[in-house]
Amino acid sequence: MFLITVAILGIALFAQEITHETLVINIEVPVRVFKGEKFVEDLTIDDFEVFEDGKIQKIEAVYLIKKTSIEKKEGEKIFSPNVSRNFVLLFQVQDYLPKIEKALDYFFNNVIMPGDALTVFTPMKTYNFKTEALSLLPREEIVKQLKAKIRKDTLMGNSEYKHLLREMQEQVAGVDEMSIQIVQLLLNRLEELRRVDESSLMGFAEFLKAKEGQKYVFLFYQKELLPQLDPTTLSTRQSLSQDEQHFLFQLSDLFLHYRRDIAFNVDRIKQVFSDSSISIHFLYITKAPVLSVEGMQPSPVTWREQSEDIFSAFREMAMATGGLTDSSSNAASSFQRVVDASENYYLIYYAPKGYKRDGTFRNIDVKVKNKNYRISHRAGYFAN
C-alpha cells in the first residue's frame, strides 16, 4: 500500500526521497591499527582507504578516540561521535579462578570511568551497573560485592555439572545395559548444559544493539574437557563375561562419538554482531577446569580437551566485530592486554555509494595505504 501511494504521488517525489535517503546514510566504523602490539596513533584521513563490497568509498571524516576523549578529528563533514562506553563482562567458566578477581581489580582501578555502564553475565544471573549506580558506593565495595556474586554464581551454575559427573562415574563402574542407557541420558544432559544456541546469541546481539555509544564485550571462556573411557584402565579389568565385554564395547563407542555440535550458523552470527557495532574480545582461559568431585570412586572415565570447535567460532566472531582474541592460563594478564589494546581507536565515517535499503550484508574492508599494519574493524552491516 505504501509503494502504491508513493507511485500516485509521482516519480519525481519518489526520486527525491531516494536521493535524500542516500545523503543521510553514514556508516561509522571503529578501527584499531597496530604495529606489532602497539597502537598506531599518528595516522591521518589520507592514510586510510575504505572499501564496501570491493568498491572504494569516500571517507567523510576520521576521529582519533582515546578512552572517551576525542583527540583528533579530520574531514569535510562534522559528526558527533557517541564515545560513551557500555562494557559487558561475560564469564563462561567452570571454576572460580582467583585471577578473575585481579582482572576485576584492574578493570575498576584503570578502565571504567564516569559515564560508562557495565553489565556482568555469570553462569546464573545478569547484573547491570548504570552510571548512577557506580557512583553510589565506593568502588572497593562494588568490586568486593561483585567478586562474591561471581564466585557464588559460578559454584551454583556448575553444581549440576558436577552432579552429572559423579553420577557418570558411578554408572560406568558397572557394565550392563541399564548403565549404558543412563550414561546416554547423562551425556545428553551434559550436551544441553554446554550448548550455545543461535537464538540466545541473536537475543544478546539485539540487547547490545539497542544501547547507545561504543559496546565492548569481554568473554572469559575456560577450556572445556569432555569425558572419555581410558583404554588402559579398561584393559586391566579381568574376568568379564561375554555380555559384559559387549556392553563395555558399546560404552566405549558411546563416549567415542560424544561431541558437541555448534548449534548456530557461525557466518550469520558474525554478520549480526558486526551489524550491531559490538566489539567482542575473546579471552580463552587455557587453565583446565578441576573436574574431580569429592566422594568420587576410582573410575575409567578420563577427560580430553574439546574446545577447538567453540574456540574457532568465537575467535571468528571476535574478528568479525573488530575485537581481539587472547589465550592464556592467566585471566588477569590476558584481560589487561586486551582491554588496553581496545581503548584507543579511530572512528571512520563514510557515505556508501549507491546505497539501497535491500537488507543485504555489505562487507567493509579498511586499509592503511602502503603499510603492513594489523587492522581490526567490524566486517560490515545490513543495509536495512
Mean pLDDT of 1-24: 39
pTM, entire model:
0.85
Ranges for all domains in the chain classified under CATH 3.40.50 = 85-342
Neighbours of 248 (CB within 10 A): 20
Looking at residue 80, its pLDDT comes to 93
The Cα 325–Cα 310 span in angstroms is: 13
Q: Would you state the cell numbers that stand for residue 224, as one nine-digit string?
A: 572445556
- Name, in order, each residue with C-beta under 8 angstroms of 224's C-beta and a sequence gap of 6 or more: 94, 194, 289, 305, 306, 307, 310
- Name, in order, each residue with C-beta under 8 angstroms of 205's C-beta and a sequence gap of 6 or more: 269, 272, 273, 276, 278
Q: Would you state the cell numbers that stand for residue 173, as one nine-digit string?
A: 563402574
C-alpha closest to that of 296 among 179, 165, 154: 165
Does position 22 have pLDDT exceeding 60, yes or no?
Answer: no
85-342: CATH number: 3.40.50
Mean pLDDT of 246-275: 79
Q: Cβ distance 343 to 64 under 8 Å? A: no
Q: Would you state the cell numbers that stand for residue 26, as one nine-digit string?
A: 553514514
Q: Cβ distance 91 to 100 under 8 Å? A: yes
Looking at residue 260, its pLDDT comes to 63
C-alpha closest to that of 86 among 215, 207, 275, 277: 215
Mean pLDDT of 130-159: 86
